[in-house]
Amino acid sequence: MSKLAYLGPQGTFCEAALRLLEPDAERLPCANVGAALDAARDGEADGAVVPLENSVEGAITQTLDELAGGRPLHITGEWLLPVEFSLLVRPGTELAQIKRVITHPAAHTQCRGYIERELPGAVVIAASSTAAAAQEVASPESPYDAAISPAIAGEYYALDAIASNIGDRSDTVTRFIKVNRPGRLSEPTGADRTSLVAFLRDDHPGALLEMLSEFAVRGVNLTRIESRPTGDGIGRYFFHFDLEGHIADARVGEAVAGLHRLCDDVRFLGSYPRADRLPTQIKEGTADADFAEAADWLTKIRAGRA
């Protein structure tokens, strides 16, 4: 049975994802993304499950930054989970009694419509996580009347869900990833994704265009690009890329090797099956067989046999 660290405390969406998708795993809650990843790095856990991006909030920057530095970890899987917020109260509290609400600012943003409509006079206070908000409300002396949290947090902290699925959009999803210490890669499935981090050699104008050209020329589609600061001043960035295909694919390998030649450093973050199972669209001339045929042809030419 594997042991997986996750972004805690108990009751986070991250735990919900983990329970749903790896129900048999032992779960190790960690205080933040960095701690969860370190647990995987150190061997305290076999791996870690952390959020990577949210369809409303965007990238989870701590995850991006923690994966870009420190000892390497590989993404080995991804899941897309709907984000559903509940309004959690101590048993007995009624809607009309709610004056002070606590939740994470992102949840506040995503439930703004509900709050204005149903809790017009309530004050909303920021917590460090939606699960921490529930934990806070669970205390009998808490100055807060309700928490906006995942339903799962209600179970842990013995709170009642006075309302469910109160987000302004019903289609919000979070993308979670599972990471492990580097090891043998999983086999390509035809519906894979590869994640990378690229550090520019020098940050000249046109550098991003050059990086994108490495992918475009080999027919590799990017599905996500994020710029992140290097820390060396405003205007200095490194880049996270998600792309279609597996590093074992010829076109992906050549593109990534090209990126490696272009950059100061490229960190491979893994090739893994896509959560949506959409097969990679392969542009004419860029299938593995096309690369193999071209390589044979080149070998013959170089040997003077063509």
Q: Which residues are catalytic?
A: 174, 176
* Total residues at interface with its own copies (CB under 8 A): 83
| Binding of its own copies by 139 (CB under 8 A) | no
Q: How far is CA 86 from CA 49, 72, 172, 296, in A?
A: 22, 36, 14, 60
- Using alpha carbons, select from 120, 117, 181, 127 the residue that is nearest to residue 157: 127
230, 237 Cβ separation under 8 angstroms = yes
Rounded to a whole number of angstroms, the minimum distance from the CB of residue 205 to its own copies is 4
Give residues 21-50 in contact with its own copies (rule: CB under 8 A): 32
- Using alpha carbons, select from 287, 124, 138, 161 the residue that is nearest to residue 219: 287
Contact with its own copies (CB under 8 A) among 21, 27, 35, 55: 55
Pick the closer one to its own copies by CB: 94 or 171: 171
> What whole-number distance in Å separates Cα of residue 151 and Cα of residue 17?
12
Contact with its own copies (CB under 8 A) among 21, 125, 151, 161: 125
> What whole-number distance in Å separates Cα of residue 25 and Cα of residue 1?
6
197, 267 Cβ separation under 8 angstroms = yes
| Binding of its own copies by 185 (CB under 8 A) | yes
Rounded to a whole number of angstroms, the minimum distance from the CB of residue 152 to its own copies is 21
Give residues 84-113 in contact with its own copies (rule: CB under 8 A): 105, 109
Neighbours of 18 (CB within 10 A): 26
Contact with its own copies (CB under 8 A) among 175, 195, 272, 273: 175
> What whole-number distance in Å separates Cα of residue 70 and Cα of residue 72?
6
The DSSP symbol for 275 reads T
Residue with tokens 């987000």: 167
Pick the closer one to its own copies by CB: 123 or 158: 123
Pick the closer one to its own copies by CB: 93 or 228: 228
Rounded to a whole number of angstroms, the minimum distance from the CB of residue 287 to its own copies is 9
Give residues 260-299 in contact with its own copies (rule: CB under 8 A): 260-262, 268, 281, 284-286, 290-291, 293-295, 297-298
98, 89 Cβ separation under 8 angstroms = yes
Rounded to a whole number of angstroms, the minimum distance from the CB of residue 260 to its own copies is 5
Among 22-30, 147-155, 157-165, 259-267, the segment contacting its own copies (CB under 8 A): 259-267
- Using alpha carbons, select from 28, 83, 20, 76 the residue that is nearest to residue 53: 83
Rounded to a whole number of angstroms, the minimum distance from the CB of residue 151 to its own copies is 21
Pick the closer one to its own copies by CB: 92 or 206: 206
